[in-house]
Structure 1
Amino acid sequence: MEDDASAPTAPPAGATTTMLTPQTLTLASLSLAVVCLAILVFFTRRKSRTTGNLLLLVGPPDGGKTAILSTLVYEQTLPTHTSLQTNASTVALPALKKTLTVVDIPGHPRIRNQVNEYIADSKAIAFVVDASTVSRNGPAVAEHLHIILNALTSLPPSQALPSLLILAHKSDLLKSGTATSATSEALAVNRVKTILERELEKRRVSQYGGVGVEGLGEEGERTEMGGLECSGDKGVFRFDDWEGGEVLFFGTSVKVGGGEKGEMNGLVSLQQWMEDNA
């Protein structure tokens, strides 16, 4: 009996065959596109993390922003006055042989939104709160901070979020059972954090109910802003659960008109953060 020449030849033992169907090619193309997109986003975000070289000082008027700026720049606190102009100065970081530009943005309602002009190039935003008066000014301070939180979470996905620092400033004015500066700073941080969480939660609940929140910049103005989303239980606003990222708190103080050149006063924690993250 003759062999059939047209019969298919069996593959060798142990060999595998791959069928390239149109469906397989389509899936492979989609997978490759997803991988390429992920790589593109990764390197775009890395670039945005390395280009920011600004530290923005923001917050309500009379919180101490300009005094902090002069201390960081001149290592000496100079007398200051309320200004409606943005100030920018370069701070030297000798240990790193680097510099960091610090921008002081006034807190007046008419110009505080200038933060949006600098936020894309910032490494961090330091929100300065007068810890000695926040108990009575809580709603106004929270309204200003809400603007910052909204601006941060409104950045495009390719833009890495700048770090958010909240400075519980003038901590030396708080009275405690002991005289240590560390205790005063901890007391200031706890007070500022507690009051701001309470006031921001009020704003979140008002917006959730569809009534909007009152903007203190214009009489009778009501607005709706995002930036208060949290991952915790029932979405209650807590800085530890804020979806915009980590929020760091520092207790700070300066001696206006006093202190010798080279003395950082109560800004050691902020200065250390700058050196670690510049």
Structure 2
Amino acid sequence: MELDMEQWLQQLQKWIHEVEEWVHQQPVEQLYAAFAVLLITFALFGFFRFLRRSKSNTIVLAGLTGSGKTVLYYQLRDGSPHQGTVTSMEPNDDTFVLHSELEKKGKLNPIHLVDVPGHSRLRPKLDEFLPHAAGVIFVVDSLDFLPNCRAATEYLYDILTKAIVVKRRIPILILCNKADKVTAHSKEFIKKQLEKEIDKLRTSRSAISTADLTSEFTLGVLGETFTFSHCRNKVAVAEASGLTGEISQVEQFVRELVKP
């Protein structure tokens, strides 16, 4: 064994000596050029790897149970609300071209859409998809908004303060669903109420920050009333109706993040 190691070291020294002799025989300009080409090659390789890694086509649907996430999922995929669907207990997860774009000519970039169940015990599944998300659509029931305002605010707060969301600046669309109903609250009203409730929530949570294990970042500007414009990531508010198929603002949000 010692003999084999000694032979291997002798062979290695021989190779190193041969490489040194070859380098000394080459013109300096040629060595510089070869080194420059090598550097450029590594730089381009790293750049293209970064581009492939950063271009995500994953859009995540989140929100409370009953907000209409699954109906929106099917509208985007099939152009149908699939009436009669029940509350999802497992994520709906598929990759497809938006149904409204199926008749368009040319190659279209498919989206990877994930509908995360809204039940409190199933929400941790959201963490499986956020690291790869290009954007999050947080669905709010604008018809029954007030009775669910506090619960919706807490869920949204938890998303907005997640480290992965803040660090990657993942855009979030607060989607006021069921906007076709006469008694539905407007997106302006919902936005103001959510901001007001988040302002209260961040105050109460900061008071017990040592015990608060869910919030990884603090929202807002110290000493100022909270607004979504204070968030590091872009937060927009829009309206839709999953049942009637009025989802143009949803599709616009998706296509801004996942280019056709």
Q: TM-score, normalised by structure 2?
A: 0.70
Cα 1:44–1:235 change in 2 (3 A) is farther
Q: Does 1:225 align with 2:215?
A: yes
Q: Does 1:91 align with 2:89?
A: no
Bigger helix fraction: 2
Deviation at 1:150?
1.9
Q: Does 1:206 align with 2:217?
A: no
Percent of aligned pairs with the same residue? 25
Q: Secondary structure at the match of 1:126?
A: strand
* Number of the residue aligned with 1:191: 189
* Number of the residue aligned with 2:230: 241
Counterpart-to-counterpart distance in 2, 1:200 and 1:85: 28
Residue type at the aligned position of 2:75: T
Deviation at 1:147?
1.6
Q: Secondary structure at the match of 2:175?
A: strand
Q: Does 1:113 align with 2:117?
A: no
CA contact (8 A) 2:159 2:165 kept: no
* Number of the residue aligned with 1:34: none
Residue type at the aligned position of 2:125: Q
Q: Does 1:270 align with 2:258?
A: no
CA contact (8 A) 2:157 2:198 kept: yes
Q: Which runs of 5+ in 1 are unaligned?
A: 1-38, 176-183, 214-221, 260-264
Q: Does 1:63 align with 2:72?
A: no
CA contact (8 A) 2:88 2:117 kept: yes
Q: Secondary structure at the match of 1:82?
A: coil
Name the count of aligned residue pairs. 207
* Number of the residue aligned with 1:103: 114
Deviation at 1:192?
1.6
Residue type at the aligned position of 2:235: V
Counterpart-to-counterpart distance in 1, 2:57 and 2:129: 10
Counterpart-to-counterpart distance in 2, 1:125 and 1:45: 24
CA contact (8 A) 2:140 2:175 kept: yes
Q: Secondary structure at the match of 1:98?
A: coil
Q: CA RMSD in A?
A: 2.8
Deviation at 1:189?
1.0
Q: Deviations over 1:58-99 (max 9, x none)?
A: 011000000000000001111211121111122314456110
Deviation at 1:156?
8.8
Q: TM-score, normalised by structure 1?
A: 0.66
Q: Secondary structure at the match of 1:102?
A: strand
Residue type at the aligned position of 1:70: Y
Moved more, 266-275 or 112-121: 266-275
Counterpart-to-counterpart distance in 1, 2:182 and 2:147: 14
CA contact (8 A) 1:49 1:160 kept: no
Deviation at 1:201?
0.9
Counterpart-to-counterpart distance in 1, 2:173 and 2:210: 27
Residue type at the aligned position of 2:93: A
* Number of the residue aligned with 1:136: 147
Deviation at 1:111?
1.2
* Number of the residue aligned with 2:171: 163
* Number of the residue aligned with 1:250: 238
Q: Secondary structure at the match of 2:242?
A: coil
Counterpart-to-counterpart distance in 1, 2:206 and 2:71: 38
* Number of the residue aligned with 1:218: none
Q: Secondary structure at the match of 2:137?
A: strand
Q: Secondary structure at the match of 1:250?
A: strand
Q: Secondary structure at the match of 1:173?
A: coil
Counterpart-to-counterpart distance in 2, 1:48 and 1:188: 39
Deviation at 1:133?
1.2
Q: Secondary structure at the match of 1:62?
A: coil
